Amino acid sequence: EAQVTQNPRYLITVTGKKLTVTCSQNMNHEYMSWYRQDPGLGLRQIYYSMNVEVTDKGDVPEGYKVSRKEKRNFPLILESPSPNQTSLYFCASSTGTSGYNEQFFGPGTRLTVL
Amino acid sequence: AQSVTQLGSHVSVSEGALVLLRCNYSSSVPPYLFWYVQYPNQGLQLLLKYTSAATLVKGINGFEAEFKKSETSFHLTKPSAHMSDAAEYFCAVSWGSNYQLIWGAGTKLIIKP
């Protein structure tokens, strides 16, 4: 089944404790992206990647890191999480890098930073 | 800056009634337009998209949207609401070769029995 998977689905952590949220897609997509969703703000892009070893900042990159060593994986790293990073996070991928391509989303990771 | 506006954070309709969710975007440059739906505790999935073909676009689950360039709008409609339509709906826009999507804030659709 074609899908984007994220792990973990739920995570409660404390300020300053490094964490990684994994994202994997099995559709051989070139484009991958991370978003955060907050009430009333819609989706805001954190980082995106057009291909392996190519990553770029989105609208809200502060406090986050990413890497794209393999085409299928795009982990999101929070080196020192803070309470303002409490949010719902989505990974997405797309078959191409053109503006009309559909994005496929993972199920989301709900992160709480105490 | 380019922006997308969804009018109404919550829209409530009775089962069987018309659904109308509004989306307006800034910019006179023709965009690519999308509606995504998010069911409770799930990720987003594509409902429909406009990519400069027919201005009336049909999507899944009986939804459709009409691109109106003069009004810079892409409103989502469904003739008869069903309880299973209760979800949050997001309008998103991209322009030209820039792949980045600009997202609306979302509209939560509530269906009354």
- CA distance, residue B15 to nearest chain A CA (Å): 25
Angle at A81 between CA A80 and CA A85, to 5 degrees: 150
Mean pLDDT of successive 10-residue segments in chain A (114 residues)? 94 97 96 93 92 92 97 97 97 82 93 97
Chain A residue numbers touching B44 (CB-CB < 8 A): 43, 90, 92, 103, 105
Chain A residue numbers touching B94 (CB-CB < 8 A): 99-100
pLDDT in tens, A66-90: 999 999 999 999 999 999 999 999 9
Q: What is the pLDDT of residue A111?
A: 98
Q: Which residue among B31, B95, B99 places its CB closest to the CB of A97?
A: B99
- Asked if A90 and B51 come within 8 Å (Cβ–Cβ), the reply is no
Question: What is the percentage of chain A residues whose pLDDT exceeds 90?
Answer: 85
Residue of chain B nearest A56, judged by CA positions? B100
pLDDT tens, per residue, chain B with 113 residues: 778 999 999 999 999 999 999 999 987 677 889 999 999 888 999 999 988 778 899 999 999 999 998 899 999 999 999 999 999 999 999 876 556 788 999 999 999 99
Written as six digits, the tokens of B3 are: 């922006």
Q: What is the pLDDT of residue B41?
A: 85
Q: What is the pLDDT of residue B99?
A: 66
Residue A35: which residues within 8 A CB-CB, separation 6 or more?
A: A43, A44, A45, A46, A58, A89, A90, A91, A92
Distances, alpha carbon A37 to alpha carbons A34, A45, A52, A111, in Å: 10, 9, 25, 11
Q: What is the pLDDT of residue B62?
A: 96
Mutation target among B21, B27, B34, B44 for the A interface, most CBs of A within 10 A: B44
Burial-class residue A85 by CB neighbours within 10 Å (0-12, 13-18, 19+).
buried
Nearest CA among A33, A29, A30 for reference residue A75: A33
- CA distance, residue A82 to nearest chain B CA (Å): 24
Chain A residue numbers touching B92 (CB-CB < 8 A): 43
Written as six digits, the tokens of A83 are: 């309470």
